[in-house]
């Protein structure tokens, strides 16, 4: 089953890179961050020209008419995490334009009867408002006819040297599942590991690094909020976009022709590419065996 996918809240393209690795083809993308759009276009315009030539790289998800979209099998959405994050104000669905975006995903998926959904967010989403927010999300997805599965997965479980726990929600439209389909199984942790010494190309005092974040840069190596300063070969060094790309599983050649501050912010807000690749490989394997073909 060749997967055609939509890349909503695409950021700089972590989902896109991961899906390419398992044979996916992106037909729709959307993000409203101007800096992210620059990076996404400069990396994928030549690789997926139809996405841009046919004007399917949207800026505003609220303005999308699902009936005018090309067909796709999988909707990916790393929807905004700030409303549910420990570091944010935790307004949840009350955070207009961000917290309520989940319902836009549901609107599009419902109208198109999208066969598969892959959603990603901060791990704290599961506990937000004593679990009520997450329970409401799962109920909404169930009401739309989806069988849902979720797991908190750390980037360190798939070879990257940062913990970065994120919740992944995988949904299959039940009407497309074969009668005896078993429960979906998330991928097992990878045996391959790289360390922060590999990231730096020198001897680092930490094997597993701090989780990349969007704010608080240059706090100082002894500050409790530090996440970007390390002792490498006996000297204090700060993460640059190069090390940030490596920690997130992006290739060194990935283009980011924006200033360093914005590049680090976008990397901190992206997805861990090897984790997404492992999850989507499991999704495709499951779909090939247990889903009815489009007809």
pLDDT digits (tens, 9 = 90+) for 134-148: 999 999 999 999 999
List, in order of start, the domains of the chain with CATH numbers: 4-190+271-290 (3.40.50.150), 196-267 (no CATH)
Residue 30 bears catalytic tag: no
58-71 confidence digits (pLDDT tens) = 999 999 999 999 99
Catalytic residue, candidates 10, 81, 171, 204: 81
For residue 88, what pLDDT is reported?
45
For residue 122, what pLDDT is reported?
92
pLDDT band at residue 132, thresholds of 50, 70 and 90?
A: confident
Residue 39's alpha-carbon distances to 14, 32, 224, 262, in angstroms, are 11, 12, 31, 11
Query: Residue for token digits 């022709």?
Result: 257
70-97 confidence digits (pLDDT tens) = 999 999 999 875 545 444 444 545 555 4
For residue 253, what pLDDT is reported?
97
Strand bridging mode 146-154 / 165-173: antiparallel
Whole-prediction pTM value? 0.93
7-41 confidence digits (pLDDT tens) = 999 999 999 999 999 999 999 999 999 999 999 99
């Amino acid at each position: 089953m060749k997967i055609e996918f939509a890349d909503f809240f695409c950021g700089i393209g972590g989902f896109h890179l991961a899906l390419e690795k398992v044979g996916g083809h992106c037909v729709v993308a959307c993000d409203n961050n101007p800096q992210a759009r620059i990076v996404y276009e400069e990396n994928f315009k030549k690789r997926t020209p139809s996405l841009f030539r046919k004007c399917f790289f949207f800026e505003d998800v609220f303005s999308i008419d699902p009936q005018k979209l090309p067909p796709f099998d999988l909707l990916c959405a790393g929807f905004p995490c700030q409303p549910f994050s420990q570091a944010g104000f935790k307004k949840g669905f009350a955070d207009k334009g961000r917290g309520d975006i989940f319902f836009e995903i549901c609107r599009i998926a419902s109208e198109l009867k999208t066969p598969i959904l892959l959603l990603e967010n901060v791990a704290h989403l599961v506990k937000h408002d004593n679990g009520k927010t997450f329970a409401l999300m799962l109920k909404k997805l169930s009401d739309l006819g989806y069988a849902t599965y979720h797991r908190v997965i750390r980037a360190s479980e798939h070879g990257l040297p940062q913990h970065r726990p994120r919740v992944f929600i995988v949904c299959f439209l039940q009407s497309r599942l074969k009668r005896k389909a078993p429960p979906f199984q998330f991928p097992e942790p990878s045996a391959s590991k790289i360390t922060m010494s590999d990231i730096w190309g020198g001897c680092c005092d930490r094997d597993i690094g701090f989780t990349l974040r969007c704010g608080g840069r240059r706090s100082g190596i002894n500050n409790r909020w530090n996440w970007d300063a390390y002792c490498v070969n006996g000297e204090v060094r700060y993460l640059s976009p190069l090390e940030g790309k490596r920690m997130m599983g992006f290739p060194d050649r990935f283009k980011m022709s924006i200033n360093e501050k914005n590049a680090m912010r976008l990397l901190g807000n992206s997805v861990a590419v090897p984790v997404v690749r492992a999850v989507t490989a499991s999704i495709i394997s499951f779909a090939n065996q247990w889903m009815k073909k489009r007809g």
